[in-house]
Structure 1
């Protein structure tokens, strides 16, 4: 029995959303992974990421369109990934890196300011000139 028009539109939209989710997760992974010099770790991380993405996309499709895995679903997921990387990825990745740098700077400043009184107390306790 052929699917109704509403179900077909739902399949297309959910496939496109699944592709965008895949692209966003890849950008997050790319930011976390950084530049690894150890090749075997990079290979293992990439394989684990692929498994994780497969599980996430399959679960998403299972809940949204009952896991109809037709060739069209894969085509629309690939199209969404390509469009995401072509138009959105550079902005998302740059903003992700900016947020990461600002968070790192904020944490570093907070730790320095919180540890400064402890350093003063430690220097006064260990001061041998008394």
Structure 2
């Protein structure tokens, strides 16, 4: 199990390399990318802030999916100021077959979104900002 929270850009290859195994024929990677809109508003940038215990929660999510599936899982989340197009989250799972890899990766991303105390502040094109996930 691999989990990381950092202000530095995420290298997806590091996350993927952790889960790769010779016996696995499927690698599924999810990348959460900062987009330029949200619920009809234009977004210019995001700031991510994490609770001091956020890494423990991220590790718990990875451990849960690993225990449920018996697969190697990994996730890295970025914090700090991010621009449109930058990667905020990388989650990866490898498995012998694609169906279980897809299902495990989806489960991992869902758990992260539900349980990890990382919040984003969206900067909007009208000069205002709003917090999401509080």
Larger radius of gyration: 1
TM (norm. structure 1) is 0.28
Which protein is richer in strand relative to its size?
2
Which protein is richer in helix relative to its size?
1
